[in-house]
């Protein structure tokens, strides 16, 4: 699905470089290793280790589903001050795998900690002591299948053996590919910013293509920075910026058991201490983090299963953000809106339907609806300038932006989604994901 | 689209005759007229008048959408004691048509009342005086297009001219076809019951194929009975029985601006007065009404756009009915569950996902999931008897029943839906509905 990212990336994140793939480079304090554990019964990379030799500060947000995967349970239970390794596998979600799935992770953490301690003694002047609780996991793939413990544990020595302490654009591409499932494109994003006078890097990768309607979290998104920031500050920045990025996207309204977004700070750049996210010196970082997350979130949507159009739903002049979000997602998740857009049909009546069914009150005498810059509904009535030919032409584009003003207040929310195509059904009816 | 109705109708409504189309016959006090007003620019019937020469008691439930069609506004504003006519047009929803759409209905009601008064004087010994407020409207079709007032008003004399005071199975089939839009099959249902010693008929027709997730109402469903029942009793019976019938179905999670279910009682059978819906003598009628509504609701789902499978989601042992309904609809509306079923893939992991994202707490240590009679999850774990081949075989059937026990209480809810196929996308991407 060849949605061109250039246009839509430009609309919201002006700092983002306008190229399809940004070149990520080295982050001090991070090491990466990628192997194939044969989880797909072929040679593709499927097992990734992120290793922080000095330990990393971190913060995570997780799926709000009432049924969560075993790795999320593990991650929630460990509350170490620092993370030394994140291990990500694809093909198997380790969800609904019960005690066996959880015990597998415990054994993997034991094994990994033991081998990393050995490596610490070999490589470091002052070796750290790594405990199993310093290891967290990301899992993605089929729910309910036996977790492939043997294949993964057999490859831990291999993973550790292949650890490289420096990164370049090729290793980032390799790792972004290794965490993919039904994704057709790797997702990478980067920003450079400052905290005080210090130059800071923020790099991110993500995966996700279906079952995407994150709720306070995401599919898988991992952000790395060389800044020095406490777990508390990272947590506040992540939560704040997830709300309008990963929590603003939906492919199909389905929320995964495995959603996970984590930010790691290696503390290699010795910026001055940040005690509050309201401090002036963190504003530049805050904005850059938002850009990276939004950039990744948009890439996830634009690679949504079977998508042929990228859709932005802006809801503004709303009573509160909750209402704006309800309306935005009611439109974004409506199969009838999404199929109309797939068919390039300017069927704005279905947008009306989706606004109406959302729940929140709207001021029907003032309601406006625009497709792109074309006014369709004005003061609650079909615009006098309405010309179906012009809108039909607009619908042919790859990027569709629908803007709704409800005139009940001053708040707004923007949701991102894609169209619903036959290809979506084909992928999900024919493929066990 | 050839879902066989026999099996699924048998499961819940034992009184229903197991035939594809029931033969509806005459209802005393009702007259019907059907014409083509050329709304589709062809000869198909598209305009229907139901006429009650003596007036009918009645009760309605309407869409809960915040944007409602002009005919629903009209119907809500009129609060007459009796209805003399219901006029139903297809092709145009008269939604988001503003003052012009509403004024058109007012003029149609004026015109119809005038001509019906003339007819009363010709036909009746004691002519009634019919006011515009005694006329209500059902509209279905495209939202936001100019209401075809001229075409309809020009056909009012024609409609009145063709009024016939007796019905047979052919006229019922004709009228059930005339109210269809993208439906592929007419929907009719009937029951006979008793109030005291009096034999009572309950006949119903419905339309609906897409934009189906009724909320306290339905697409269009019209029920006719010859019983003598007050507006208050009809209202209570309708509200009670809609909850577990039309409000338990979803094709695509989209709610229309025009949903409407109305029951009319012609009072021709002089049964003894019913003062409360808890009286013993109304129980048989209550059950029969439920059967008619459930039968129609199931027919709407089984004709859901592009459907190849009829799906029943039973959620039981739940804390309360609201939670059971949330979980049932989370599964019923999940695109990933619906595409898996279309693909005959026993992907129960997606059912787990949909249960998890629904919101309500579940008892994960006891959770059971069955496909048909096949136990998949037992005590929160994959059943030891799980055999994918057996379930894969079950998925080949046309009727898929998924039963979920959450073990948080004693309440239950059953939702009805259909699968999500490429055909659904084709219909809705290519057709302006």
How far apart CA A300 and CA B348 sit, in angstroms, is: 25
Angle at B214 between CA B211 and CA B219, to 5 degrees: 65
Contact between residue B135 and residue B141 where contact means Cβ atoms under 8 Å apart: no
For residue B404, the model assigns a pLDDT of: 97
- Chain A interface test: which of B428, B430, B432, B433 (most A C-beta within 10 Å): B428
Same domain, B94 and B162: yes
Residue contact B335–A424, C-beta within 8 A = yes
Q: Which of B302, B337, B371 is the last residue of a domain?
A: B302
Same domain, A128 and A223: yes
Same domain, B242 and B272: yes
Angle, helix A5-12 to helix A283-302, in steps of 10 degrees: 150
Residue contact A345–B432, C-beta within 8 A = yes
C-alpha distance from B115 to closest chain A C-alpha (Å): 33
Q: Which of B302, B321, B340 is the last residue of a domain?
A: B302
Residues of B in contact with A65 (CB under 8 A): 353, 356-357
For residue B8, the model assigns a pLDDT of: 44
For residue B10, the model assigns a pLDDT of: 41
Neighbours of A326 (CB within 10 A): 18
Contact between residue B265 and residue B59 where contact means Cβ atoms under 8 Å apart: no
Residue B359 region, left (φ>0) first, then alpha (ψ -120 to 50), else beta?
Answer: left
What is the CATH number for B413?
3.10.20.340
Average pLDDT over residues A218-234: 91
Q: What is the mean pLDDT of each run of 10 residues along chain B (433 residues)?
A: 44 40 91 96 95 96 86 94 96 90 97 98 96 96 90 97 95 94 88 95 87 53 95 96 86 73 95 96 96 90 84 96 93 90 90 89 93 93 90 93 97 91 82 47
Cβ-nearest to A347 among B67, B339, B432: B432
How far apart CA A229 and CA A278 sit, in angstroms, is: 14
Residues of B in contact with A361 (CB under 8 A): 66
- Please indicate whether residue A13 or residue A361 has the higher confidence score (pLDDT): A361
Contact between residue A149 and residue A107 where contact means Cβ atoms under 8 Å apart: yes
| Residue B48 is among the residues annotated as catalytic for this protein | no
Cβ-nearest to A425 among B339, B347, B358: B339
Same domain, A163 and A221: yes
Same domain, B259 and B152: yes
Angle at B353 between CA B349 and CA B358, to 5 degrees: 150
pLDDT surpassing 60 at residue A337: yes
Residue B214 phi/psi, 5-degree rounding, is -60, 150
Tens digits of residue pLDDT in A188-200: 999 999 999 999 9
For residue B143, the model assigns a pLDDT of: 83
Same domain, B282 and B314: no
Residue A181 phi/psi, 5-degree rounding, is -115, -95
Q: Which of B248, B275, B302 is the last residue of a domain?
A: B302
- Chain A interface test: which of B407, B429, B431, B432 (most A C-beta within 10 Å): B429
- Per the structure, the complete domain to which residue A55 belongs is given by 5-302
For residue A231, the model assigns a pLDDT of: 96
What is the CATH number for A209?
3.60.70.12
Residue contact B67–A255, C-beta within 8 A = no
Same domain, B45 and B29: yes
Cβ-nearest to A345 among B63, B360, B429: B429
Is the ipTM beyond the 0.90 threshold? no
Side-chain half-sphere CA neighbours of B314 within 13 A: 15
Contact between residue B399 and residue A309 where contact means Cβ atoms under 8 Å apart: no
Same domain, A298 and A341: no
Same domain, B189 and B318: no
- Please indicate whether residue A151 or residue A427 has the higher confidence score (pLDDT): A151
* Number of structural domains in chain A: 2
Pick the catalytic residue: B97, B218, B228, B368?
Answer: B218
Q: Which of A315-319, A346-350, A365-369, B281-285 has the lowest mean pLDDT?
A: A346-350
Give catalytic residue positions of A.
218
pLDDT band per the 50, 70, 90 thresholds, residue A155: very high
Same domain, A186 and A239: yes
CB pairs < 8 Å spanning A and B: 184
Residue of A nearest to B359 (CA): A66
Same domain, B126 and B49: yes
Contact between residue A107 and residue A152 where contact means Cβ atoms under 8 Å apart: no
Contact between residue B250 and residue B209 where contact means Cβ atoms under 8 Å apart: no
For residue B359, the model assigns a pLDDT of: 87
pLDDT band per the 50, 70, 90 thresholds, residue A259: confident
How far apart CA B29 and CA B58 sit, in angstroms, is: 13
For residue A17, the model assigns a pLDDT of: 33
Residues of B in contact with A350 (CB under 8 A): 143, 211, 254
For residue B432, the model assigns a pLDDT of: 52
Cβ-nearest to B144 among A334, A352, A430: A352
Cβ-nearest to A430 among B67, B255, B343: B343
- Chain A interface test: which of B353, B363, B427, B432 (most A C-beta within 10 Å): B353
Same domain, B42 and B97: yes
pLDDT surpassing 80 at residue A81: yes
Residue contact B256–A422, C-beta within 8 A = no
């Amino acid at each position: 699905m060849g949605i061109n990212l250039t246009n839509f990336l430009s609309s919201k994140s002006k700092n983002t470089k306008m190229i399809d793939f940004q070149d990520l480079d080295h982050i001090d304090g991070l090491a990466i290793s990628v192997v194939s554990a044969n989880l797909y019964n072929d040679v593709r990379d499927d097992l990734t280790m992120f290793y922080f030799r000095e330990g990393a500060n971190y913060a995570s947000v997780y799926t709000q589903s009432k049924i969560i995967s075993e790795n999320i349970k593990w991650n929630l239970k460990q509350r170490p001050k620092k993370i030394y390794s994140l291990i990500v596998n694809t093909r198997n979600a380790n969800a609904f795998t019960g005690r066996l799935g959880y015990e597998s992770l415990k054994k993997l953490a034991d094994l990994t900690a033991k081998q990393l301690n050995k490596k610490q003694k070999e490589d470091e002047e002052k070796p750290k002591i790594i405990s199993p609780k310093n290891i967290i996991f990301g899992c993605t793939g089929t729910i309910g299948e036996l977790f492939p413990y043997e294949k993964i544990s057999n490859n831990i020595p291999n993973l550790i053996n292949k650890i490289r302490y420096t990164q370049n654009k090729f290793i980032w591409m390799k790792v972004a590919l290794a965490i993919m499932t039904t994704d057709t494109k790797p997702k990478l994003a980067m920003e450079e910013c400052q905290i005080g006078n210090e130059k800071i890097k923020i790099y991110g990768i993500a995966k996700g293509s279906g079952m995407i309607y994150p709720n306070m979290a995401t599919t898988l998104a991992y952000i790395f920075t060389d800044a020095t920031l406490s777990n508390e500050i990272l947590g506040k920045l992540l939560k704040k910026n997830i709300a309008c990025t990963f929590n603003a996207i939906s492919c199909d309204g389905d929320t995964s058991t495995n959603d996970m977004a984590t930010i790691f700070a290696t503390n290699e750049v010795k910026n001055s201490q940040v005690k509050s996210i309201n401090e002036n010196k963190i504003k530049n970082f805050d904005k850059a983090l938002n850009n990276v997350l939004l950039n990744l979130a948009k890439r996830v949507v634009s690679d949504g299963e079977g998508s042929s159009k990228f859709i932005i739903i802006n809801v503004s002049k709303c009573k509160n953000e909750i209402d704006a979000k309800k309306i935005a997602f009611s439109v974004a998740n409506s199969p009838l809106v999404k199929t109309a857009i797939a068919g390039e049909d300017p069927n704005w009546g279905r947008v009306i339907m989706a606004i109406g069914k959302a729940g929140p009150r709207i001021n029907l005498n003032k309601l406006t609806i625009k497709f792109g810059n074309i006014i369709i509904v004005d003061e609650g009535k079909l615009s006098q300038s309405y010309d179906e030919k012009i809108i039909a032409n607009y619908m042919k584009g790859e990027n569709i932006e629908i803007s709704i003003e409800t005139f009940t207040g001053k708040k707004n929310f923007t949701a991102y989604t894609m169209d619903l195509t036959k290809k979506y059904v084909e992928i999900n009816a024919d493929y066990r994901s």
